Every structure is written in C-alpha cells, then in structure tokens.
Amino acid sequence: MRIYTYCWGGSSIDVAKYVKLNNPEAKLAVIPTTAGSGSEATRFAVLYEDGKKLSITDDIMIPDYVLFDPELLKYLSDYHRKSSALDALSHALESFWSVNADSESQNFSREALTNITRLLENYPESYKPEEMLMSSYKAGRAINISQTTAGHAMCYKLTGLFKIAHGHAAALCNRILFRWLVNNKPLLVLNNIADSMSCKSPEEAAEKFCAIFDKLGLEPPRASSHDIEILAESVNPERLKNFPAELDKITIKNLYQEILNTNGR
C-alpha cells in the first residue's frame, strides 16, 4: 500500500521531506504556495533545532509529484511575493556561476534567469503567477544539481538578525556579489548570465539585477558595526566553496558593509 504525504509551502515541504527520509516507501506530493523556495524540486531540506540551522541532503527527499496552483499566490502578501521571486532569481543566478554547475544545471538556470528577469522588470504588471511557479521550479532544478553559493551562505544570518524574508536577504547579498565578481573575477560564465538577462555585458547585467531589486522597493535593514562582526563570523565556509572566487574574512566583512550600506557606522 502506498502512503501519500501532501504538503504546502516551502517550510512544510522541508518537514515532509524529513518524514519521507524516515519513511522511504511514502510518496511525497507537494504544492508550492510561494513561487521562490524551489523546495519542490530539490533534495535539500532546512530544519532548525534549538535555533540552529540544519541542512539535510538526500536524493530520496526529492518530491515524487509537484502540483502547481497559481491561485494560491494570491494569498501572499506583496512583500512575500516579491521576496519569494527574488529567492528564485538568486537561485538561478548562483547556480549559473556555481563551481558545481554543469550543462544541465546551466540550461535550467538560463531559462529561469531569463523568465524571472522578464517577470520582475515591470512588477507588478509583468508578474504572472503561473510563469513564476514554473520558473521557480526550474531554478530549483538548477540548484538541486549545483547547490547555492556565497549569496545564500551570507544571507542566512541576515534573516534571523533583522527578521527579514529569506529571498529579501539573498537578493541583498547577490546584488553586491554580482558587482564584486564582475569587478574582481571576469569569468566567461558572467557573459552567459548577461545574455540570459538580455544584457550586452556582465556590467549591465549586474546593474539590471540591482535595478530590479530597487524597483521592488525592498531596502537593507539598518546595521551597526557590531552587527557586521556577527554576520562575518556566521558565514558557512562549506557553502562558500561553491562560489567561483575565494572570499577571505576581510573581504566578507567589506561585502557586508556594502550589502547593508553601513558606511562605517
């Protein structure tokens, strides 16, 4: 007899994945209620124990069935609709430049990056829930292969420290990391990213990413120099290994200052 576990939304999907891990015979059917987490497409689950983030990875946790219902996105607040979309955009971007990327993951990244950029450029008029759900899924398929990189490694503490949404925090980091890569390590893959975003150069693509973020009206939280120290110490070095350039502690601290516009406060 088959046991079906149905669940809705990124967090509950991750909990259901853990159940599936301990009951491999169960079939997992998921229904995303945000278009951004990509959990419906990945082998990863994030759980918290005593306030500490735990990441679990196992192929058996990839959902067996995914059901999309664009009507569910109508119940999201505008803030969470935006931040979820930025999470998917960050997945597509980070997967593209990940050192673990291959031709399959980059095909998913390219399609997701092209579509999400188009859907967000003139938000809310350009935003289409059904297309966003599929684009988020493809970005999830991409990170399922390549994993995320520095943007996610640096964003997790931001969410807890300042109580902002995960996608908001990821985009805050990636808008600066994208510029940093363009200026410090002009990789060939950045040209492919630019092409996917309908830009003539990586510089233009990095600015377009920033322009999308700015248009959505999300801002960095106010941070002190003490906050910067906490953030710099929080970064998971394992996840940084997926980033295509080495980031030492001084660079990470400087990046956080740019991310949060602290200007020496």
> Quick check: 8 pLDDT over 70?
no
Cβ pair 201, 208 in contact under 8 A: no
pLDDT attached to residue 1: 38
Closest CA to 116 of 96, 100, 138, 95: 138
> Quick check: 9 pLDDT over 60?
no
Residue count of the chain, please give it.
265
Res. 237 pLDDT band, cuts 50 70 90 = confident
Please name each of the domains of the chain with its CATH number.
Answer: 4-66 (3.40.50.1970), 77-259 (1.20.1090.10)
- Report the chain's mean pLDDT, rounded to a whole number: 92
pLDDT attached to residue 265: 36
Q: What b/e string do you get for 9-42 counting C-beta neighbours within 10 Å, with b at 16 or more?
A: bbbebbebbeebeeeeebebbbbbbbbbbbbbbb
pLDDT attached to residue 47: 78
Per-residue pLDDT averaged across 68-96, rounded? 96
- Which tens digits make up the pLDDT trace of 22-81? 999 889 999 999 999 999 999 999 877 776 677 899 999 999 999 999 999 999 999 999
Cα 4 from Cα 20, distance rounded (Å)? 10
pLDDT attached to residue 262: 67
Cβ count within 10 A of residue 98: 25
> Quick check: 263 pLDDT over 70?
no
Tell whether pTM > 0.85. yes
CA distances from 28 to 56, 61, 67, 144 (A): 17, 8, 11, 17
SS3 164: coil
Instruction: Name the more confident of 117 and 3.
Output: 117
pLDDT attached to residue 252: 97
Res. 264 pLDDT band, cuts 50 70 90 = very low
- Which tens digits make up the pLDDT trace of 142-181? 999 999 999 999 999 999 999 999 999 999 999 999 999 9
